[in-house]
Amino acid sequence: MIRTAAMAILFATSFVTHASEQASAKADPAKGKIVAETICVACHGADGNSMTSANPHLAGQIEQYIYKQLTNFKSVDGKPAARDNAIMAGMVAALSDEDMKNVAAWFASQKLKPEAAKNEASIALGKKLWRQGDFKKGIPACAGCHGPAGAGMPAQYPRLAGQFAEYTEAQLKAFRAEERGNDPEKMMRMIAAKLSDAEIKAVADYAAGLR
Ligand code: HEC
Ligand code: HEC
């Protein structure tokens, strides 16, 4: 019995390792750069450093997260896309699976020029939510999944450090309103549902200043 269980775990582990090795072996950032320079440049910058907060920074984002979002923006067989955004739906429509892997690898390999925290008065609240959450309200620490310094964790958890506060705030509100529902197991919708507007603003600003 014990041996079978151990073997099953071994098998599962080697399968996961193998699958992720395959994914990164396939991606070609040099080909992704061409996609970035021809299509994405207008809004995200060729190196993934965007000029305006409506368009998120992609530089230094987790590769698998970028790829997942691109597939989520795509409508498959006429069904609504998992992440509904008219602009990005148009952008991914013409991209192949290979293009999406390549461009994800390109942006993930670029260096982020990070934003900064701007609101001195809310730093303490933002820091508390980031590091400890709020036990009474049932809010977990953001650091638990997005990392102590907000760098994200491969493969599921995106980088939030240095992102535009306005973008982070908009996404938290979209999760709370269930307008964005592509988070696995409702992880973000359940957390955002418990956050007030003031808490969302504070934690988004704090994350912009994380390094
Ligand atoms: C016309 C402007 C525009 C262009 C061009 C564009 N994007 Fe976007 N992109 C956006 C906007 C706006 C959002 C934010 C969507 C939202 O609010 O949910 C976004 C979001 C994203 C996200 C989600 C990031 C995150 O942190 O979740 C990814 C990934 C992305 N874009 C990749 C790309 C790639 C790759 C290209 C080129 C093939 C591209 N975009 C071209 C405007 C654009
Ligand atoms: C249990 C794990 C978990 C915790 C804790 C968590 N997150 Fe997340 N978060 C996720 C996952 C998973 C995603 C990616 C969803 C997807 O695949 O689209 C995400 C995505 C996000 C996004 C979207 C980023 C983007 O680039 O579009 C924001 C913003 C965010 N989280 C903020 C927070 C904040 C703020 C906290 C703390 C209050 C927090 N998260 C706590 C798991 C978590």
Q: Residue 20 pLDDT > 80, yes or no? A: no
| 190 annotated binding-site participant | no
Q: What is the mean pLDDT of residues 160-171?
A: 98
Residue nearest to atom 36 of ligand 2 (CA): 142
- Which of the listed residues 87, 108, 129 is the one where a domain comes to its end? 108
The rounded percent of the chain whose pLDDT value lies above 70 is 88
Least confident of 14-18, 32-36, 139-143: 14-18
In angstroms, what is the span from residue 88 Cα to ligand 1's centroid? 5
Verify that 36 and 83 share a domain, yes or no: yes
Q: How far apart are the first and last CA of the chain?
A: 47
Domain total in the chain: 2
Residue 57 has pLDDT above 60, yes or no: yes
* Under 8 Å between Cβ of 133 and 195: no
**Cβ-contact 75, 125 below 8 angstroms:** no
- The stretch 71-99 carries a mean pLDDT of 95
**From the alpha carbon of 39, which atom of ligand 1 is closest?**
37
pLDDT for 75: 92
Ligand 2 test: best mutation among 125, 137, 145, most atoms within 8 Å of CB?
145
Query: Is the CB of residue 189 below 6 angstroms from any atom belonging to ligand 2?
Result: no
Mean pLDDT over residues 161-167, rounded? 98
Q: Which residue type is seen at 195?
A: L
pLDDT of residue 145: 98
Number of the ligand closest to the Cα of 127: 2
The reply to whether 36 and 99 lie within a common domain is yes
Q: Domain check: are 150 and 96 in the same one?
A: no
Q: What is the pLDDT of residue 121?
A: 98
Question: What pLDDT was estimated at residue 25?
Answer: 59
Atom number in ligand 1 closest to CA 54: 12
Residues 73 and 119 in one domain: no
Distance CA 205, CA 199 (A): 10
**Residue-range definition of the domain harbouring residue 186:** 2-10+115-208
The per-residue pLDDT for 15 is: 41
Which one of 59, 90, 108 terminates a domain? 108
> Does 88 carry a binding-site annotation?
yes
Residue 6 pLDDT? 45
The predicted structure's pLDDT at residue 26: 81
pLDDT at position 14: 41
The CATH number covering residue 71 comes to 1.10.760.10
Q: Let me know if 193 is exposed, middle or buried by CB neighbors in 10 A (0-12, 13-18, 19+).
A: middle
pLDDT value at residue 76: 87
- Per-residue pLDDT at 4: 47
What pLDDT, on a 0 to 100 scale, did the predictor assign at position 12?
A: 42
Percent of the chain with pLDDT over 90: 86
Is 41 within a domain?
A: yes
Domain shared by 132 and 67, yes or no? no
40 Cβ contact partners less than 8 Å away, ≥ 6 residues apart: 46, 48, 58, 91, 103, 107
For range 59-88, the mean pLDDT: 96
Give the residue from 73, 108, 143 where a domain finishes.
108
Query: Any binding-site annotation on 57?
Result: no
| Average pLDDT score over the chain | 91
182: Cβ below 6 Å to ligand 1? no
Check pocket membership of 59 for ligand 1, CB cut-off 6 A.
Answer: no
- Residue of 76 and 171 predicted with greater confidence: 171
